[in-house]
């Protein structure tokens, strides 16, 4: 323990204690009172002006819900994204607070594993596109198409959002969150862009949320963002993201072409047309109708008319499409309880003996059963390794 204190400066330890305190929602006064010192002592410790004593460190770590070892561990990463989320206008509920804390902890865990293994994450970020004066819808449409071109996606549907985000070097995580939280986005200079998505949501909504958060990364990446179920797209930033997502998932030219093909020679837009288009582009039925309205391929109010006249049911979709493979297999949840890259880091750290199964479970916020699933087969991989398949360095 003493060795670690010598490696970290008083300023670094103080900063880590400040982040832990703010994440635990303690004021300097309440922290000082809890360990029996003056508030000025906490201020001096956090500024690195006074070295924290070991007994003080242990007491502070305990009340902050962490450990002295976690504060002092050289490879540990201490992020303070949670207070930034707390300052957002829509933030305040426990669901958002808990989701922000989970994102913060998952990013910290991944970076800590990278540091322990000596791994650097490659960032392949596209250029930032600040929102300009004028027609925000037109800019969102253009930026979405330019990003598709930059990624080389072509006109086809985009079903695996997680792989696209990962390809860009964005840290993306999928966990079951409170139903009203769809996703969160944050950017930190030290760790880059980070997104947390709700695994409980249907695949179509999951994909749309992923691209919505990507839109914030494209347009205003240094501003944290929370997308909630009842989000009203009133600000220019939210309106931009609201237009960007369907533009990316259902490009205008591809929608126009497919629409012309399936409605050729017909006089009315029917439920069958909507079901086919929604399936082709992997969108919810409402989302594809709203997209048709935006492109003037359907009159404004078309979706509302269908809703007032019986809606478009899942049974009607089965009658049109038949029984199809479950597209939810393209969501990140189907890839495992943690993203593939993070799973590889965890397995390698466990094989090298850097972390125990229990330590990894706590680090990644998993129960022991899920952690064993992540580590399953790691010993077999090690026993099968030989010089013929050894990676060059």
Residues 194-240: tens digit of each pLDDT? 999 999 888 888 999 999 999 999 998 888 888 887 767 678 888 99
C-beta of residue 255 within 8 angstroms of C-beta of residue 291: yes
pLDDT at 257: 93
Task: Kindly state the percentage of the chain with pLDDT values over 70.
Answer: 85
pLDDT at 391: 47
Q: What gap in Å lies between CA 240 and CA 135, rounded to an integer?
A: 10
Q: What gap in Å lies between CA 172 and CA 164, rounded to an integer?
A: 10
Mean pLDDT of 159-176: 90
pLDDT at 61: 86
Q: Do domains 1-74 and 80-249 have the same CATH topology?
A: no
Task: Kindly state the percentage of the chain with pLDDT values over 90.
Answer: 37
List beta partners, residue 265: none
Mean pLDDT of 273-292: 91
pLDDT at 1: 34
The answer on pLDDT for 111 being more than 80 is yes
C-beta of residue 24 within 8 angstroms of C-beta of residue 63: yes
Mean pLDDT of 371-387: 66
Identify the residue whose tokens are 């303690």. 26
The answer on pLDDT for 164 being more than 50 is yes
Lowest mean pLDDT among 250-254, 267-271, 376-380, 384-388: 384-388
Mean pLDDT of 79-90: 69
Phi, psi of 225 (to 5 degrees): -150, 145
Fold of 80-249: Arc Repressor Mutant, subunit A (1.10.10)
pLDDT at 32: 92
Q: What gap in Å lies between CA 70 and CA 4, rounded to an integer?
A: 11
pLDDT at 306: 92
**Rg of the Cα atoms in the chain:** 24
Mean pLDDT of 23-28: 85
Highest mean pLDDT among 73-77, 297-301, 383-387: 297-301
CA angle 370, 338, 184 (to 5 degrees): 125
SS3 186: strand
SS3 377: coil
The answer on pLDDT for 339 being more than 90 is no
376 versus 367: the higher-pLDDT residue is 367
337 versus 247: the higher-pLDDT residue is 247
pLDDT at 12: 82
189 versus 8: the higher-pLDDT residue is 189
pLDDT at 377: 65
pLDDT at 131: 92
Mean pLDDT of 239-259: 92
pLDDT at 250: 93
- Over 247-271, what HEC string results? HHHCCHHHHHHHHHHHHCCCCCCCH
Tell me the domain boundaries of the chain. Answer: 1-74, 80-249, 252-330, 337-389
Q: Which CATH code for domain 1-74?
A: 1.10.260.40
Mean pLDDT of 4-22: 77
Look up the pTM and report it. Answer: 0.76
Q: How confident is the model at residue 91 (pLDDT cuts 50, 70, 90)?
A: low
pLDDT at 156: 81
Mean pLDDT of 23-42: 90
pLDDT at 4: 42
Q: How does the average pLDDT of the chain come out, rounded?
A: 84
Q: What gap in Å lies between CA 335 and CA 327, rounded to an integer?
A: 13
């Amino acid at each position: 323990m003493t060795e670690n204190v010598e490696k970290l400066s008083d300023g670094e330890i103080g900063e880590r204690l400040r982040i832990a305190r703010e994440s635990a929602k303690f004021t300097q006064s309440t922290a000082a009172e809890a360990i029996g010192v003056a508030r000025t002592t906490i201020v001096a410790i956090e500024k690195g002006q006074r070295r924290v004593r070991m007994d003080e460190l242990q007491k502070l770590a305990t009340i902050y819900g962490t450990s002295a070892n976690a504060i002092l561990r050289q490879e540990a990463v201490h992020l303070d994204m949670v207070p930034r989320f707390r300052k957002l206008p829509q933030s305040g509920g426990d669901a958002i607070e808990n989701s922000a804390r989970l994102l913060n902890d998952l990013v910290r865990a991944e970076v800590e594993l990278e540091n322990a293994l000596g791994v650097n994450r490659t960032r392949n970020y596209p250029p930032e596109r600040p929102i300009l004066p004028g027609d925000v819808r037109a800019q969102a449409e253009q930026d979405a198409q330019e990003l598709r071109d930059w990624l080389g996606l072509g006109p086809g549907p985009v079903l695996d959002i997680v792989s696209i985000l990962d390809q860009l070097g964005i840290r993306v995580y999928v966990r079951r969150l409170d139903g009203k939280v769809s996703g969160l986005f944050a950017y930190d200079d030290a760790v880059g862009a980070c997104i947390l998505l709700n695994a409980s949501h249907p695949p179509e909504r999951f994909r749309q949320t992923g691209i919505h958060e990507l839109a914030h990364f494209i347009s205003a990446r240094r501003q944290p963002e929370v997308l909630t179920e009842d989000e009203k797209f009133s600000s220019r930033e939210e309106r931009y993201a609201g237009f960007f997502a369907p533009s990316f998932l259902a490009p205008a030219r591809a929608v126009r072409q497919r629409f012309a093909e399936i409605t050729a020679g017909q006089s009315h837009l029917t439920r069958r047309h909507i079901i086919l288009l929604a399936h082709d582009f992997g969108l919810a039925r409402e989302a594809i109708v709203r997209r048709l309205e935006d492109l003037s391929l359907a009159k404004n109010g078309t979706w509302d008319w269908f809703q007032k006249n019986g809606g478009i049911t899942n049974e009607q979709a089965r009658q049109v499409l038949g029984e199809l493979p479950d597209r939810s297999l393209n969501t990140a949840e189907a890839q495992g309880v943690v993203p593939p890259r993070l799973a590889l880091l965890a397995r390698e750290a466990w094989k090298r003996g850097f972390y125990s199964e229990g330590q990894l479970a706590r680090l990644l916020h998993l129960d022991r059963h899920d952690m064993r699933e992540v580590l399953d087969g790691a010993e077999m991989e090690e026993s099968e390794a030989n010089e013929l398949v050894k990676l060059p360095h």
